[in-house]
Amino acid sequence: MNDAAAASPPARIVLARPDDWHLHLREGARLNSALAFSARQFARAIVMPNLPEPVTTAERLRRYRAEILAALPADSDFRPLMTLYLTDETTPHTIREAAADATACKWYPAGATTHSAKGVRDFRKLYPALEAMRDAGLPLLVHGETADADVDVFDREEFFLDNVLSRARADFPELKIVVEHISTQAAVRFVEENKNTAATVTAHHLLASRNDMLAGGIRPHYYCAPILKRRADMEALRAAATGASGKFFLGTDSAPHAICEKESPCGCAGVFSAPFALELYATVFEECGALHRLEKFASFNGPDFYGMPRNKTTITLEKTPQTIPETFSFGETEAVPFLAGKTIPWRLQ
Ligand code: DOR
Ligand code: ZN
């Protein structure tokens, strides 16, 4: 291969089928709309439990999984990986009951994000549940932000890692912890420095910074929790995701809301990236000159950390530009996808 050929990116990439290690599928008619986008691209997805009636029991978890499976097309082999929503009252018994059907448990600090009101208020009350999780081999997935009103919204992730998660991390060294949707340089460092600790990285935190959301106008479809940070944070996330470490993997945190819930005086947090998730990640990896690392990030690091098999089938991405539609139908309403109206260079075959 000559130098020119070596430098020019390939027109096609074939990857082991990827998984989405952080996804919001919603319920009812909205689930039907959201699920199709993910099932088309991913073999498995970690399904978030922050429903209006959160997934706090084994029975609720099985009911939600049945609803998801019923919404899949008959020929789909997509596998939802279920998570249990932790509260101050979650008992070791509940963990043991859910263990057969759950892949992990989710810690939402109460008030940190959408439908987190029933989440964790006093993390020390979680300790008996964390012991049971450690013993059952269930990873802890963390929304790593404080809900403390005195802490600046842009500092909430770093504050939580320094003052809360670092203590739980030290007290349960064998527990696998995934810091979800990391958004700061501080979080990259936390993950690198701690054993048994990994992170999901979203496409939107890799492609946008707070300037995209706030400079020259306020753009509600970029608003998410954790909120987009500085350009330097975005660059640190890019370096982590495209680097050699196995601790960072694909988790879209695709979180669709109806247009009217986003374009509102008090809009909901959530970026709807599921329709073109893989193409968005391919765009970032190409920009970073790291397409050769995409498969590791999207298809290998996640299952390796969770101790699950890598997928055997493949998907193909082609270098064919496509323009992202302005809206998609979303149950009884419509939702605006991330980068609506923009053209991206890759297309899933
Ligand atoms: O932006 C977000 N949206 N972050 C979350 O943590 C929750 C999610 C949602 O469910 O809408
Ligand atoms: Zn989420």
Residue ranges of alpha helices (H) inside the chain are: 3-7, 28-41, 58-71, 92-98, 127-136, 156-160, 166-171, 185-193, 203-207, 210-214, 231-242, 259-262, 277-287, 294-295, 301-306
Are the CB atoms for 103 and 306 separated by under 8 Å?
yes
- Cα of 141 vs centre of ligand 2, distance in Å, is 10
**pLDDT tens string 172-211:** 999 999 999 999 999 999 999 999 999 999 999 999 999 9
What atom in ligand 1 is closest to the CA of residue 269?
Answer: 1
Output the pLDDT for position 10: 81
The answer on pLDDT for 142 being more than 70 is yes
Output the pLDDT for position 331: 97
Output the pLDDT for position 7: 57
Ligand nearest to the CA of 145: 1
**pLDDT tens string 254-295:** 999 999 999 999 999 999 999 999 999 999 999 999 999 999
**pLDDT tens string 51-86:** 999 999 999 999 999 999 999 988 999 999 999 999
What atom in ligand 1 is closest to the CA of residue 48?
Answer: 10
Output the pLDDT for position 5: 43
Say what the pTM is.
0.96
Are the CB atoms for 228 and 210 separated by under 8 Å?
yes
Instruction: Write the DSSP symbol of residue 337.
Output: P
Average pLDDT over residues 311-321: 97
The answer on pLDDT for 1 being more than 70 is no
Percent of residues, the chain, with pLDDT higher than 70:
98
> How many other C-beta atoms lie within 10 A of the C-beta of residue 72?
16
The answer on pLDDT for 334 being more than 80 is yes
Residues catalogued as catalytic: 253
Q: How far, in Å, CA of 336 to CA of 100, rounded? A: 36
Average pLDDT over residues 116-134: 96
Q: Which of 20, 22, 24 to mutate to test the pocket of ligand 1 (most atoms within 8 A of CB)?
A: 24
Quote the CATH superfamily of domain 3-348.
Metal-dependent hydrolases (3.20.20.140)
Output the pLDDT for position 91: 97
**Domain coordinates in residue numbering, the chain:** 3-348
- Cα of 250 vs centre of ligand 2, distance in Å, is 13
Q: Which residues have C-beta atoms less than 6 Å from ligand 1?
A: 24, 50, 113-114, 143, 224-225, 253, 255, 268-270
Average pLDDT over residues 224-238: 98
Residue 176: closest CA among 100, 107, 93, 245: 107
